[in-house]
Structure 1
Amino acid sequence: MDVRIPFGSWVESGLDWIEHNLEWLFDLLAAVYVALYDAVVWVVGTPPAIVVITVLALLALAVRGWRFGLGTALGLLFIVGVDQWDNAMETLALVVVAAFLAIVVAVPLGIWAARSDRVSAVIKPVMDFLQTMPAFVYLIPAIGLFGIGVAPGIFATVLFALAPGVRLTELGIRGVDREVVEAGQAFGSTPGRILRQIQLPLAMPSIMAGVNQVIMLSLSMVVIAGMVGAGGLGGDVTKSLSALDTALGFEAGLSVVILAIILDRFTGAFGTKRGLHLFRRLRARGTSDAAATAASSPGASSPTADREAVAA
């Protein structure tokens, strides 16, 4: 007996229902996506290429030293030399918008999952599903809901890049030493204050690793999104594949590699330097605030509190 489960038909019917009943929502999302994309393209595409290259090279010099600054400048000059600058800036805008939206969703979800075992139990299988789904499959509902253009590319990229941000944020928050959290609770800190001044600074390396992975996955997906009219370097990669144009394919592909290396090094530098600086600053402020609270509490003095008050 040959029995076939019509799972694909169920999914198709569900997508048709969403398309007909929530069309206003996806029109709104498309408008937001396109507006954000146009704004970033205007910022990075309006100035002359040499101005953008100079600014990025100086930023690279500041965060990682002269080697990274020189490498950034040479890599971007190569992109200009192969006439892929405009496409590279469009791809950069797609990555920035998609990664920003994914991080805005991923970090709060990761924090929520870290603070609730029930939420974590629900989110984990969803993240497993999103992370293991083949990248091309995301383009199917994206085209049905948004049509052809930038919006479906951003939508598919956000879904594809979301999982590592959620996972590594949850891992970082759960990995904070419980004794440090209990010390903050002993000083009367609220859960929100403990999150801001203890857990987030200590979890910053893990969170930044998640941000780095979100950006890398976004870059890989926006290239695939060139198949649905997202443009940028992905459009040229798709064109070279359909026309068997080896020269165009290698020029666009190497430009993608250069952007990936630059973005990877930038996020890595932010995680190691800026994150540690933020942690030290917040920890110093939190220690002084806790000492002041302990010193001002009537009848609640203890040797530890007295030492903190004297140190402050």
Structure 2
Amino acid sequence: MEMGWLEWLAEPLRYPFMQRALLSALLVGTICAITGSYLIVRRLALLGDAVSRAVMPGLAIAFIVGGNIFVGAFIAGVLSTALIGYIHTHSKIKEDTAMGLVFSGFFATGIILITKIQSETKVDLMHFLFGNILGVSESDLLATAVISAAVVATILLLFKELLFHSFDPLGAKAAGLPTEVLHLVLMSLIALTIVASMQSVGVVLVIALMIAPGATAYLLTRRLPSMMGLAVLLGAIASLVGLYLSYYLDIASGPAVVVVSIACFVLAFLFSPRQGLLTRLWQDRKADYAQKPAPPVVLR
């Protein structure tokens, strides 16, 4: 007897670990889409990638000293952003070069520390690289919910200021807004988003989940509020579909979520009503056909 679609949807929810995974995926998909939208409009995707890698040494050091690994990861992420800015403003090094240097140095240091920890304590910290959403515990889910609430509340509180600063930083500075503080707040929100996503998709894949829904929405709408709302919806859909695919196809959950999110971008890239590649080709073909002169009428 074939399984109906309601039974197909309900089957994974019989297990508590899948329930926690679904909730975690929805939370992570939401905050990744929101903060990722700012990265896209400010053209800072590379900076988000650098911060996602830079949290690794903070995580490892916090474990060594017996501290909270999420706090350590957050501190390392913010510190890497400050260091990138310092190198850029106090030398002739361009910002993208500074990002590459800092992210590579932090990431390599983190890998060294984590492998050293694993060899001495047999504790597995490598799952933070690629995530293990099916292993989310109740305490992990609570931490993700608290961080998500803090990120969303901060963005709602400073939405107008962040919007102004994102599209016209010089105008925002001339208007008297504390642009450096706003930049630090945004980078802190990105670091918090990465910390909240470590258990679900890992620091290697989180940048894809931050960028893909926002980039997809960017092809479908023109206003930032609409872009954020659509990105959140796409992030939630990708998270749910990816988890169901991982359950029924027996594949890794984090990568499955990312692949679905990228697939949504590919569809928008091809079929977006305004900017889709195939849509533009079809419209150009229709325009060329309309401009062709009508064949002469032969009277006999």
Task: Give the TM-score band, short-chain normalised.
Answer: under 0.3
Larger Cα-atom Rg: 1
Q: Which has the higher contact order (CA 8 A, sep 6+)?
A: 2
The normalised TM-score by structure 2 is 0.27
The normalised TM-score by structure 1 is 0.26
| More helix per residue | 1
